[in-house]
Structure 1
Amino acid sequence: MKSQSSTLLAEVRSFRQNHPDVRYVDLIALDIPGHFYGKRYPVEMLEKVAAGSPLKLPQNAVLLGAQGGLFKIGDYCFNDGDPDANRRLVPGTLKPVNWESQPLGQMLITSDGTQAPIEFEPREVLAKVLERLQHQGIHPVVAFELEFYLFDKQLENGLPQFARDPLSGDADDQPNLHIERLSRFSDVLDDMAQTAKDQGLDITVITAEIGPGQFEINFGHCDDGLRAADWAALFCRSTRGVALKQGYRASFMAKPYLQFPGSGMHVHVSLYDAAGNNLLAAHQQQPLRHAVAGCLELLPHCMPIFSPNHNAFRRLGGTVNAATRASWGFEDRDACVRIPESDPRNLRIEHRLASADANPYLVLAAILVGLEHGLETKREPIAPLNEDRNSGTDFPVEMLDAVRAMQQQPVLRDKLGAEFVDVYCENKRQDHLAFQQEIHAREYRWFL
């Protein structure tokens, strides 16, 4: 602990020396719906925290709904006195923020690694999964890919408008994969990329996707699963900020346009032993097949994680590469679990089902639990799509059905934690019910 405090203290002092104009630092963490919460600290107080002073925030901040409200979940929120819980600073995440009007810093905080971690905090859930795998001699290497849309900064009657082409001034309303779109939007995309790198994120490839104003960012493969998920979370925050600074809106909403492709979160995962051998490639790739079978078995029960809101379910079965059944295949983007072509050293799965606005900590935790379950049970998967285009098993496509499927699944309750599963499912159930408590204009048109 003394060593960690000295490391954090050195990080804060170095930051203050390199950024003397920064007076405040946002201490932030991801809640269950995938939004950042936290506090803005004077930088001199941050130095005291780094030296060992307590850092406490309300425990129930993790439980906020999609709109920031609190739901009664068991005894949490209204019958527990709203207690504080200890957090800690995440080393290496103190970085400058360049999208605000005033100089600012930000740093991740978490309850994992504290004396009493919050069982339902997303980062803690992933940390426990990774720790269990490490004890089994399994070391994941992870890479995220995130799709997002750019919109015009101004909404029209609350609805998003196509982003304007900076060269022509016209709406970028033609879906295509043309690389020229990267050039036309280079100012904002370059700013996003550089800002991400300034935050310590290892971003690699930028792609113009099919949807109008839609792009994808890939991250480098990382042998620290927590850091890989940190990168995905922080990228969403910085990208929204940079877009506003450049006169756009950026959104990771799963399905902003019904007629155009949705935005996904694709996760590449390979598993290695302590000697660096790819576990999935052993014995003529038999462990790969077992891992795929485990992922597909648990996938229908993880839908509230992969599709965390009403809109995310609209993405399923969409115009391109969005599966409607739990399936797998070699080099097949219609599959939920794709096996990219690679040499044995880099053999991996690509999990393609999650929406871009899903919580990256929980998505990765669910994928790893599926792989772990498959390696333990050693079952054969269903036929790949390459052999049978109709292969696949059904999964829930509505939130309440998905919550019921998740809450009673014994493997998830055991490996993700029963307390987390109960809290998460009730959070999603209450969010869904709250979403229904508004009469849309269409209802009046149809039924008045």
Structure 2
Amino acid sequence: MGRALTDNPLDDEVTRFLRAHPDVEGVEYLLSDLNGVARGKWGPPQSLAKAATVGLNFPLSVFGLDVWGREVPDIGLHVETGDRDGYCPLAPGTLRLVPWARRPTAQAILTMLTEGGRPFEGDPRQQLRFAVDRLARLGLKAVAAFELEFYLLDPNAASPPDGGLASVFSGVGGPARENVYGLSDLAAYNDLFTEIRTAGMAQGLPVDTIVSEGAPGQFEVNLKHRGDAFAAADDAIMLRRLIVETARRHGLKATFMAKPFMDRNGNGMHVHVSLLDREGRNIFAAAGDGERRLGRSVAGLVEAMVASTLLFIPTWNGFRRLQPGSYAPTRASWGHNNRSVAVRVPASEPHARRVEHRLAGADANPYLVLAAVLNAMADGLEREANPPPPVDLNAYEAPVPALPATMDEAIRHFERSDFVRKAFGVEFRKLFATVKRAEMQAFLEEISPLERSTFL
């Protein structure tokens, strides 16, 4: 049997929600797998009572699926060990309405415990918990916010030569069309973006600015900063789902694929982070000591970047995004107010000083991205590490370590990393690397259409 969560006031949260929404007919329970894909089950409103106490049953192996949702036998969580269940209680504050559902429906994020009530290390949300706890031992708390880029695709448009879908502005204005920050592009899809903002408000998502990005049909939605790392990552999970479903209602497809077009910018997931002390003060804000602690955090981020690239770029396609001049970093670099670096210190007032981590693809798992960032910052602070000189100009040409250029290289760095072992644990390191290696092998065994058209 599962363990009752006597220290978690979820019963009250469920009671308040059902009183406010007595017409709810069902609940969508969500678990974010290693790839950030939402998996789960549907249940009646009455199932919330169990979810708020012992938790719902899910197999541990749900965190051992590849990106296609297939079992990876080598992880040791499937039938060879009995395919055991874990217990998944509600994550506090995640019980919300589903604005796009045709019938009154709720959704809630779950997190996994073992039979003994311990956090399951294979759950990305629990990995974020470990990182948050590590910062807490230093007397620190993270404030974080995500930015998500995506393309809007038109299923009804003529297909491009590669057989994919065209973006909503493909063929409009010629091949050189970018229209960065173009208000006309936002106005063209005013109804869709208004619905995203309205539905976001209904879900409690702190949607901030919406931007037309650097390629035809590419957009970015920015979220406001949260003083709770879990809430920030939950926001990113919920926002991706909201954008996809809202686009579908408008007859479009939204994709967070890291590199859907070879000749256009890829989709990134940037995360902004500052750290507060026990009195709620930004430790980077103070003159002198603030600069030193910012430098130590940056040093940790830069030094851990090669080893943890696989967490930020977890897909075969994602490595196509890392191209010089594309605003996707290719080197373990940092700098002030410089968008070509991997770790940017944005221009800001002292009280808002923070780091922006720019490496992750939009298809990465937000929990693992934020866990990697927070662990690296904690590591730099614990070791009192000194950062390398900042890069002031073009970081693509800077004499600093290059990031892994292939999935195979990234896996090898990840598997050997003491940073990853210390931050995420031996078992998670093995689990994640095994799943990623299985995915890589599947791509290596696929004969591409280009090969057939060339050699057949």
Q: CA deviation at 1:53?
A: 4.8
What amino acid maps onto 1:226 in structure 2? F
What amino acid maps onto 2:129 in structure 1? A
- The answer on whether the counterparts of 2:150 and 2:219 sit within 8 Å (CA) in structure 1 is yes
Q: For 1:278 and 1:444, locate their aligned partners in 2 and report how far apart those are by CA, in whole Å.
A: 57
- The answer on whether the counterparts of 2:134 and 2:375 sit within 8 Å (CA) in structure 1 is no
Q: For 1:431 and 1:81, locate their aligned partners in 2 and report how far apart those are by CA, in whole Å.
A: 24
TM-score (norm 2): 0.91
| Structure-1 residue corresponding to 2:124 | 122
Moved more, 128-137 or 152-161: 152-161
- The answer on whether the counterparts of 2:51 and 2:88 sit within 8 Å (CA) in structure 1 is no
- The answer on whether the counterparts of 1:32 and 1:359 sit within 8 Å (CA) in structure 2 is yes
TM-score (norm 1): 0.93
Q: CA deviation at 1:445?
A: 2.4
* Residue among 427, 431, 452 paired with 1:419: 427
CA distance change for structure 1 residues 49 and 322 in 2, over 3 Å: closer, same or farther? closer
Mapping for residues 147-186 of structure 1, pairs under 5 Å: 147-154=149-156, 156=159, 159-163=164-168, 174-177=177-180, 178-186=182-190
Q: CA deviation at 1:388?
A: 7.7
CA distance change for structure 1 residues 93 and 172 in 2, over 3 Å: closer, same or farther? farther
Q: For 1:134 and 1:277, locate their aligned partners in 2 and report how far apart those are by CA, in whole Å.
A: 14
Determine helix, strand or coil for the equivalent of 1:205: strand
Q: How many matched pairs? A: 443
Q: CA deviation at 1:372?
A: 1.3
| Structure-2 residue corresponding to 1:243 | 247
| Structure-2 residue corresponding to 1:132 | 134
Determine helix, strand or coil for the equivalent of 1:32: coil
Q: CA deviation at 1:10?
A: 3.6
| Structure-1 residue corresponding to 2:107 | 106
Q: For 1:151 and 1:223, locate their aligned partners in 2 and report how far apart those are by CA, in whole Å.
A: 34
Determine helix, strand or coil for the equivalent of 2:192: helix
CA distance change for structure 1 residues 318 and 78 in 2, over 3 Å: closer, same or farther? farther
Determine helix, strand or coil for the equivalent of 2:372: helix
Q: For 2:449 and 2:80, locate their aligned partners in 1 and report how far apart those are by CA, in whole Å.
A: 37
> C-alpha offsets along residues 53-101 of structure 1, whole Å, 9 cap, x if unaligned?
5421111111111000010234222311111101111222221212233
* Residue among 211, 216, 225 paired with 2:220: 216
* Residue among 293, 310, 313 paired with 2:319: 313
| Structure-1 residue corresponding to 2:206 | 202
Q: For 2:299 and 2:156, locate their aligned partners in 1 and report how far apart those are by CA, in whole Å.
A: 46
Q: For 1:93 and 1:379, locate their aligned partners in 2 and report how far apart those are by CA, in whole Å.
A: 37
* Residue among 353, 363, 381 paired with 2:359: 353
| Structure-2 residue corresponding to 1:58 | 59
Q: For 1:255 and 1:163, locate their aligned partners in 2 and report how far apart those are by CA, in whole Å.
A: 16
- The answer on whether the counterparts of 1:28 and 1:107 sit within 8 Å (CA) in structure 2 is yes
Q: For 2:174 and 2:191, locate their aligned partners in 1 and report how far apart those are by CA, in whole Å.
A: 15
CA distance change for structure 1 residues 53 and 298 in 2, over 3 Å: closer, same or farther? closer
Determine helix, strand or coil for the equivalent of 1:406: helix
Q: CA deviation at 1:234?
A: 0.9
Q: CA deviation at 1:422?
A: 1.0
CA distance change for structure 1 residues 444 and 265 in 2, over 3 Å: closer, same or farther? same
Q: For 1:49 and 1:17, locate their aligned partners in 2 and report how far apart those are by CA, in whole Å.
A: 17
Q: For 1:48 and 1:320, locate their aligned partners in 2 and report how far apart those are by CA, in whole Å.
A: 48
Determine helix, strand or coil for the equivalent of 1:218: strand
| Structure-2 residue corresponding to 1:300 | 306
Q: For 2:129 and 2:442, locate their aligned partners in 1 and report how far apart those are by CA, in whole Å.
A: 31
Q: For 2:358 and 2:14, locate their aligned partners in 1 and report how far apart those are by CA, in whole Å.
A: 38
Moved more, 436-445 or 392-401: 436-445
Q: For 2:189 and 2:421, locate their aligned partners in 1 and report how far apart those are by CA, in whole Å.
A: 45
Q: Does 1:82 align with 2:88?
A: no
CA distance change for structure 1 residues 351 and 48 in 2, over 3 Å: closer, same or farther? closer
* Residue among 429, 434, 440 paired with 2:442: 434
Q: For 2:211 and 2:394, locate their aligned partners in 1 and report how far apart those are by CA, in whole Å.
A: 30
* Residue among 324, 328, 350 paired with 1:322: 328
| Structure-2 residue corresponding to 1:443 | 451
| Structure-2 residue corresponding to 1:370 | 376
Q: CA deviation at 1:160?
A: 1.3
Determine helix, strand or coil for the equivalent of 2:231: helix
Mapping for residues 237-276 of structure 1, pairs under 5 Å: 237-276=241-280
CA distance change for structure 1 residues 15 and 402 in 2, over 3 Å: closer, same or farther? same
Q: For 1:160 and 1:21, locate their aligned partners in 2 and report how far apart those are by CA, in whole Å.
A: 39
- The answer on whether the counterparts of 2:54 and 2:87 sit within 8 Å (CA) in structure 1 is no
- The answer on whether the counterparts of 2:60 and 2:77 sit within 8 Å (CA) in structure 1 is no
| Structure-1 residue corresponding to 2:24 | 22
Q: For 2:174 and 2:201, locate their aligned partners in 1 and report how far apart those are by CA, in whole Å.
A: 27
| Structure-2 residue corresponding to 1:49 | 51
Q: CA deviation at 1:405?
A: 0.3
Q: For 1:412 and 1:273, locate their aligned partners in 2 and report how far apart those are by CA, in whole Å.
A: 25
Gaps of 5+ in 1: none
Q: CA deviation at 1:220?
A: 1.1
Q: Does 1:92 align with 2:93?
A: yes
